[in-house]
A and B are shown apart, each in its own frame.
Chain A
């Protein structure tokens, strides 16, 4: 049967979902707790009893491991989607489209308190942290997301995407007259596994010649996304039917400026017309 400590650790070991080093760390830490208490003169059985219900403890520890995995996946997916967008740059003539990434004010957005991770990313990218402003705020399953704008030493406006203060994408910089992108798009997703995404949050900022954005959903429905005064937009879905399938950008005369295929994001294959 073993000692109370051995029985406790055996039961905890059986209920933990994590593997490898994480599992060993949790078990070592709880064993250390019991041994420290016994060394301090406490009765082992009482110490084990005071730790509480093993099933509840294992459930809480498993939940923390799951949250950690989700956050790590968010970082990876955000990087994938923003990289995919760069690959889907819309080719237009520079001569025909000057000042497309300019705003009436010197910087788009409203004053914002950037999360620490966005400040670190700004320092790494040479973006002035004092210039950071919030262009659009969105939501995620766990909280909020935001597209932030800042200015780098060359005077370019650069954008980053943050989610739940734990994720910040690399800064993407645009220049006045940069014809490369009709829409700068960021996304984060979450789910129990990488194959079962249960929510998606999409946010971005559009070029000055984009007059409208239409989002096509996985159930075939369509939704017009409104642009705020800084041409920011956001969309959130937490049902399979509402998951974004495609984003299409239109000019004021109805001409299609480009489209982004979300199904292709994971394989880095956006489609552009």
Chain B
């Protein structure tokens, strides 16, 4: 569970970013988090589902069930409200990151 604790505080933002490019199902989202973070974010896959459900309830993503080959599949897509939240969280994260870098560079 590398990066697990640090990741939890930013999980919503990362999940929104994971579906920004297009609708995706749970496994694809967890695989994307793992691969695009180069393995740094490797938390229990089950963790993403309660977070996805919470974001769906808040209207930030929209879940859609489809049936293919006798299997039901649920995909999640970013909503306009989710786009606004992601944009705002990106700005906050950039500011936070700049602040941390500035402090660390002065300390070294």
Contact = CB atoms under 8 A, between A and B. Distances in A.
Interface in B34-67: 44-47, 49-50, 53-54, 57-59, 65
Nearest to A39: B27
Interface string A11-34: 000000000000001101110110
Contact of B49 (A29, A35, A68, A166): A29
A56 B65 CA distance: 25
Contacts of A94: none
Contacts of A28: 72, 74
Contact of B45 (A40, A51, A56): A51
Contacts of B59: 116
Contacts of B46: 30, 51-53, 56-57, 60
B11 to A, nearest CB: 12
Contacts of A211: none
B74 A25 contact: yes
A34 to B, nearest CB: 8
Interface string A146-186: 00000000000000000000100000000000000000000
A116 B81 contact: yes
Contact of B53 (A37, A52, A61, A71): A61
A41 to B, nearest CB: 11
B70 to A, nearest CB: 11
Q: Is the interface of A mostly helix, strand, loop or mixed?
A: helix
A36 B44 contact: no
A22 to B, nearest CB: 10
A224 interface: no
A32 B71 contact: yes
B16 to A, nearest CB: 16
A57 B57 contact: no
B73 interface: yes
Given A29-B74, A116-B81, A57 B28 contact: no
Interface in B57-97: 57-59, 65, 71-74, 81
- 10 smallest CB-CB distances across A and B, nearest first, come from A52-B44, A36-B27, A60-B50, A57-B46, A52-B46, A51-B46, A33-B27, A64-B53, A28-B72, A51-B45
20 contacts: A25-B74, A28-B72, A29-B26, A29-B74, A30-B49, A32-B72, A33-B26, A33-B27, A33-B30, A36-B28, A37-B31, A57-B46, A60-B46, A60-B50, A61-B50, A61-B53, A64-B50, A64-B54, A64-B57, A67-B54
Interface of B: 25-28, 30-31, 44-47, 49-50, 53-54, 57-59, 65, 71-74, 81
